[in-house]
Amino acid sequence: MIMPMRIALLGMLALLAACGPLPRGAGLQREVLAVSGEEGVPPEFAVEAVIRENLPVFADWPAVGEEALSWIQRVDQPNTRILAPGDRISVTIWSTEENGLLTRNGERFTSLPEMQVSSSGSVFLPYIGTIRVSGMAPETARARIEEQYLSVTPSAQVQLEMVEGRANTVSLVSGVRAPGTYPMPDRDFTVMNLIALGGGIPAEFENPQIRLQRGTRLYGTSVQRLLDNPTLDTTLEGGDKVFVEEDERYFLSLGSAGSESLHPFPKAHVTALDALSIIGGVDDDRANPEGILVLRTYPASAVRPDRSGPDHERTVFTIDLTTADGLFSAGQFAIRPGDLVYVTESPLSNAQSIMNVLGAGLGIGRQVQIIATTN
């Protein structure tokens, strides 16, 4: 009666041997980190442990996958408008004189044709000639023009209206509800003021980024950084162009992770612990908490022999979540755009799979034994 059960078990073992390794969702840590055994052949990648003593070293290594853009701090400016070349002004002159130089019988004022401030910062006005107004507040320019007219029309009073030209406007190009060109209401006009005028940033934007083009220079930072630090809310200059866009950075997760997917960066800085939370943790039944791997590729120019940079272009960082040092260090280790967070499989899960198959085989053996006994 024992023979049928033995035959069933032997058949199951033969089937396992014929099929090869049982299918798994991820590799074991030793499999992923295995290197060629050939002598004299350098390894294809480096393995670095994410532990406290290594964190300062990693922090000094070149950043990868990110566009290195600087930003401009806020510069307090007077809360006034300033005339600049390209602006247009309208001048109205009032007078109580009868038959004055600028008014006819019964008239009390005359409006001069709108004029544009020249590239030299000046305008031409009848009877007083060319006068420089660029760099003045509209009220200052009005007083200066009135002072000149008083010398030829003693009762003159001057009104001045200003329409901003390109030098006093800024462009909100994209990423807001109402993009367009906006006049600067004063010299203390900031990036966040402009975004507010444009209707704000859509709530569905993931970690919105700001790009500021000033002349031929491009600057960049995140909206969250400006909100956290008001001194970075840059004062705009005429002709500036502002773009708002979603953060294009991402990292990947594979293996025995809570999810296998591409994950956008939800904030400016993402640590390994942040990443594990974003991917939904690790699979409790399959994952090896001692074998969390972060695979990263550095450019050849970043490779260094003296630990001031990685010693291989391909580097695997290992994280052990079963120790306090591993957990603390994971909370300080920065994930870079393009990184792969790979959760290896626990050897115990593979052993459990084999035991489940053998258990199923043993059940078949019992059934064979019962059938044989019955017959």
DSSP 116-166: EPPTTSEEEETTTEEEE-TTS-HHHHHHHHHHHHHTTSTT-EEEEEEE--G
CA separation for the pair 52, 44 (Å, rounded) = 25
Does some domain include residue 81?
no
Same domain, 201 and 219: yes
Output the pLDDT for position 354. 47
Same domain, 238 and 289: no
SS3 305: coil
With CA atoms as reference, report the closest residue to 212 among 192, 195, 191.
Answer: 191
Does some domain include residue 69?
no
Same domain, 122 and 51: no
Note whether 144 and 136 are within 8 A (CB).
Answer: yes
Same domain, 201 and 157: no
Residue 158 structure tokens: 């001057």
CATH code (residue 105)? 3.30.1950.10
Does some domain include residue 82?
no
Note whether 325 and 63 are within 8 A (CB).
Answer: no
**Beta-ladder partners of 261:** 253
Does some domain include residue 157?
yes
The residue type at 32 = V
Same domain, 253 and 343: yes
Same domain, 279 and 342: yes
Which of 227, 245, 263 is a domain's end point?
A: 245
How do strand 209-214 and strand 217-222 relate by DSSP bridges?
A: antiparallel
Output the pTM of the full model. Answer: 0.65
Does some domain include residue 8?
yes
Output the pLDDT for position 17. 46
Which of 225, 245, 265 is a domain's end point?
A: 245
CA atoms within 13 A on the CB side of 102: 25
Which of 215, 245, 275 is a domain's end point?
A: 245
Same domain, 10 and 46: no
Domain count for the chain: 4
Query: What pLDDT tens digit does each residue of the chain (375 aa) get?
Result: 555 555 554 555 455 444 555 555 577 888 888 865 556 566 789 999 999 999 999 999 988 877 778 998 887 776 778 888 888 999 999 888 776 677 777 678 888 899 999 988 899 999 889 999 988 888 999 999 999 998 888 888 999 998 888 778 899 999 999 999 999 888 889 999 999 999 999 888 889 999 999 999 999 999 999 989 989 999 998 899 999 999 989 999 999 888 889 999 998 889 999 999 999 998 888 899 999 999 999 999 999 988 899 999 999 999 999 999 999 999 999 999 999 999 999 886 554 554 454 455 545 445 545 544 445
Same domain, 240 and 330: no
> What's the CA angle centered on 34, arms 31 and 37, to 5 degrees?
140
With CA atoms as reference, report the closest residue to 239 among 291, 166, 178, 321.
Answer: 166
Output the pLDDT for position 4. 55
Same domain, 315 and 295: yes
CATH code (residue 191)? 3.10.560.10
Same domain, 266 and 332: yes
Structure letter (DSSP) for residue 281? -
Residue 207 structure tokens: 């970690």
Buried b (16+ CB within 10 A) or exposed e, 110-146: beeeebebeeebbbebeeeeeeebbebbbeebbeebb
Give the sign of the dihedral formed by CA 147, CA 151, CA 156, CA 159: negative
Give the domain range for residue 268: 29-64+249-347
Q: Is 327 exposed, middle or buried (0-12, 13-18, 19+ CB in 10 A)?
A: middle
CA separation for the pair 262, 260 (Å, rounded) = 7
Buried b (16+ CB within 10 A) or exposed e, 329-352: bbeebbbbbebebbbbbbeebeee
Output the pLDDT for position 107. 78
Does some domain include residue 323?
yes
Does some domain include residue 125?
yes
Output the pLDDT for position 372. 45
Cβ atoms within 10 Å of 9's Cβ, excluding its own: 16
Same domain, 185 and 102: no
Buried b (16+ CB within 10 A) or exposed e, 295-307: bbbbeeebeeeee
Does some domain include residue 225?
yes
**Beta-ladder partners of 254:** 342
Same domain, 336 and 279: yes
